[in-house]
Amino acid sequence: MKKTFVLVVLFILPIVAYLFFASGINNFGKLPVLTKDIPDISEVDANCVLQDKITILGFLGRDLENKKGVAFNLNQKIYKRFYEFNDFQFVMVVPKGSEKKVEALKSELGKLADVVKWNFAYGEEAEIQRLFKGLETDLYLDGDLATPYVFIIDKDRNLRGRTDDEEEGTKFGFNATSVADLNNKMEDDVKIILAEYRLALKKNNAERKNQ
């Protein structure tokens, strides 16, 4: 018994402690709310909604050919891992008139994954700018109404992110041109918000059973 105890103390506990701290404190709490009650995407395109959905929101702009890298990174690193969760969706905002470009992009993405939850919202320039400003971030859209950053929006239309990121301080969005940002940060944060809603659902179900 003594030998077993010593082995546990010497080898097992350090590994457990390492895994705990390596995971980061962000994995053990709720994802902070950075902006409350952002405008609903339905104000831009009536065919899309953010309310009651867990959304990855992006702005691909009018030059979709040059945004394929962003789309493919997101498709492979985030979408394929999470799209089967209930109420999870992607919404990419593009200017009106981009329909043919979008269909071509979806066709290419569809060769790698089921694109059923890849949604595109078509809007006028002023509508797209208004929606983006409603996020209240420190980022901006370029001349093509695009940004490489994507955003996590919860079911109550709140922007979620990090308030203590080691590199950015307040982290509003995730750079989809950076595989490291998607792998090391965004994937973890999506897991957190999905776990948050799963726990809330379990709690609600348990409370109903006890009534």
Question: What domains can you pick out in the chain, each with its CATH number?
Answer: 26-210 (3.40.30.10)
Distance in angstroms (rounded) separating the CA atoms of residues 44 and 24: 37
Write out the chain's pLDDT in tens, 211 residues: 655 554 544 555 455 444 444 444 344 478 999 999 999 999 899 999 999 999 999 999 999 999 999 999 999 999 999 999 989 999 999 999 999 999 999 999 999 999 999 999 999 999 999 999 999 999 999 999 999 999 999 999 999 999 999 999 999 999 999 999 999 999 999 999 999 988 876 666 655 666 5
pTM of the model: 0.83
Distance in angstroms (rounded) separating the CA atoms of residues 53 and 56: 10
Is residue 49 classed as helix, strand or coil in its secondary structure?
coil
